[in-house]
Amino acid sequence: MASANAAPAVEGWFTSGEAPALLGTRCARCRTVFFPREAAFCRNPACDSDQLDEVELSRRGRVWSYTDARYQPPPPYVPRADPYEPFALAAVELEAEGIVVLGQVADGHGVADLAVGAPVELVVEPLYTDRAGVVRTVWRWKPVAAAGEGRA
């Protein structure tokens, strides 16, 4: 990764490339899925397993809730622009796992493009450029056209 000019802002939370995906862990015994990853032991109180396997999570989900970040978050948030530009945040229920994952909304999209239940897709986009000139990336939720859906 050291030679690349782009790297995740948080190592090991998601993949990059054509079809990026969040990386979580799944309990080998009770199948509970965790994101962010749980490495030590299963958090299901009815389960005492400590075998957690890395899994790529669904790239698609539906908006569970969303908001507009009108005020600049405190550090470690790195502002993208000065003056601060508000961005949208979406809590998305993953298609297969049913867990809710918070993330920023993709560049060029705002709360006007969101609705509870609307389909979104995971994308990886630049978050900021660090002191070494490396573009740090993060996952974001991108609204997808309803016309592209295959089910009613």
Smallest separation, CB 129 to Zn ion (Å):
40
Closer residue to Zn ion in complex, CB, 26/59:
26
Smallest separation, CB 25 to Zn ion (Å):
10
Round to whole Å and give the CA distance between 73 and 42.
31
How many residues in the shown chain lie near Zn ion by CB under 5 A?
8
Six token digits for residue 80: 């993208």
Q: Is 42 in the site for Zn ion (CB under 5 A)?
A: yes
Q: Is 30 in the site for Zn ion (CB under 5 A)?
A: yes
Q: Are 69 and 89 in contact (CB under 8 A)?
A: yes
Q: Is 49 in the site for Zn ion (CB under 5 A)?
A: yes
Q: Is 63 in the site for Zn ion (CB under 5 A)?
A: no
Q: Are 57 and 22 in contact (CB under 8 A)?
A: yes
Q: Is 44 in the site for Zn ion (CB under 5 A)?
A: yes
Smallest separation, CB 51 to Zn ion (Å):
8
Round to whole Å and give the CA distance between 121 and 142.
5
Q: Is 72 in the site for Zn ion (CB under 5 A)?
A: no
Round to whole Å and give the CA distance between 40 and 120.
31
Q: Is 52 in the site for Zn ion (CB under 5 A)?
A: no
**Per-residue b or e along 115-140, where b marks 16 or more CB atoms closer than 10 Å to that residue's CB:** eeebbbbbbbeebeeeeeebeebbbb
Closer residue to Zn ion in complex, CB, 30/96:
30
Q: Which residues sit at the interface with Zn ion, rule CB under 5 A?
A: 27, 29-30, 32, 42, 44, 47, 49
